[in-house]
Amino acid sequence: MSGTNSERELIAEGPAIILVEPQLGENIGMVARAMANFGLAELRLVSPRDGWPNEKARSAASKADHVIDGAVVFETLEDATRDLNFVYATTARERYGFKPVRSPVYAASTLREKFRAGEKTGILFGRERWGLSNEEVALADEIVTFPVNPAFASLNIAQAVLLMSYDWMKSGMDDIEETRFQPIEQRPSTKDQVFGMFEQIEEALDARGYFHPPEKKPKMIDNLRAVLSRRSFSEQEVSVFRGVIKSLDAFPRQWPRKTTPRQKKADVTEETEGNGGDE
């Protein structure tokens, strides 16, 4: 699940991630890694406990060096937000106040709008132990909170940053269901190709006495075709399927072999080589 590629576009824009008094270097590093995955690059640290730079942060960042190298330290949260136009505070605890409370999806789309309008924005994340103080939340414009399991709300800061960064990335996609790569393109088969497959299968089955008793044959064909065509085939699939039938139909039709449920693999191999038939 890992890999950087310098020939591909490095996305590095969007809101500043502001960590208030982060304690563990590992967490700062995981935050940087989370940001880089989803195209964020501006990391601000308010009074990190263990100082800065921090080697543990760099190593946990898993090569998100552009985020670590660009991180800026501030003494106070006010200093860290002076140049910003709009700031969200993240919190897991219910806060009593008048500030609007938003979901991450709503917040991400608001941040994207402001980004496109040229505003500078930021998202505040609190300390590992107890998050943001009420005074810190008061410095933000709005609150964002995650839709977690009511009985198990336990996101660490790197996880919270990952989720916000992810929703930020998605807010910039034209189609939220687009993916970076696609399956090999397949042309849908024509009905004629499907009919050809039906005929091949039915002829091979007929030769083996599958349609028994004969008066049930029309109904059995109906059922068989219904099963085979419940989902539409691609040309490639019709081709694979016809190859399978051809192979199964390759040995003599005249001497049906008596199969048993416990027949061994070795027998099957022999038979497909045309030697078998009756034991």
Q: Which residues inside 103-122 make contact with a second copy, applying CB under 8 A? A: 103, 105-106
Q: Pick the closer one to a second copy by CB: 179 or 260.
A: 179
Q: Is residue 99 near a second copy by the rule CB under 8 A?
A: yes
CB of 121 to a second copy, least distance (A): 18
Q: Is residue 174 near a second copy by the rule CB under 8 A?
A: no
Q: Is residue 63 near a second copy by the rule CB under 8 A?
A: yes
Question: Considering only 44-52, 154-162, 210-218, 265-273, which stretch makes contact with a second copy by CB under 8 A?
Answer: 154-162
Q: Is residue 205 near a second copy by the rule CB under 8 A?
A: no
Collapsing DSSP states into helix, strand and coil, what is residue 22?
coil
Q: Pick the closer one to a second copy by CB: 159 or 200.
A: 159
Q: Which residues contact 238 (CB under 8 A, 6 or more apart)?
A: 189, 193, 194, 196, 197
CB of 120 to a second copy, least distance (A): 20
CB of 127 to a second copy, least distance (A): 9
- For residues 177 and 250, what is the distance between their CA atoms, to the nearest angstrom? 44
Q: Pick the closer one to a second copy by CB: 24 or 36.
A: 36
CA 275 to chain centre: 49
Q: Is residue 262 near a second copy by the rule CB under 8 A?
A: no
Q: Is residue 180 near a second copy by the rule CB under 8 A?
A: yes
- Residue at 269: amino acid letter: T
What is the footprint of a second copy within residues 127-146 (CB under 8 A)? 128, 131, 143, 145-146
Q: Is residue 72 near a second copy by the rule CB under 8 A?
A: no
Torsion of CA 6, 12, 18, 22, to 10 degrees: 0
Q: Is the Cβ–Cβ distance between 144 and 171 less than 8 Å? A: no
Q: Is the Cβ–Cβ distance between 44 and 122 less than 8 Å? A: yes
Q: Is residue 255 near a second copy by the rule CB under 8 A?
A: no
- For residues 68 and 177, what is the distance between their CA atoms, to the nearest angstrom? 31
| C-alpha Rg value of the chain to the nearest Å | 31
Q: Pick the closer one to a second copy by CB: 76 or 236.
A: 236
Backbone angles phi and psi of 190, in degrees to 5: -85, 165
Which of 121, 96, 99 shows the shortest CA–CA distance to 110? 121
Q: Pick the closer one to a second copy by CB: 230 or 258.
A: 230
Cβ count within 10 A of residue 168: 25
Give me the 219-248 binding string for a second copy, x by CB under 8 A, dash otherwise. ---------------x-xx-----------
Q: Is residue 161 near a second copy by the rule CB under 8 A?
A: no
Helix (H) or strand (E) holding 102: strand 101-102
Q: Is residue 265 near a second copy by the rule CB under 8 A?
A: no
> Binding residues for a second copy, how many (CB under 8 A)?
74
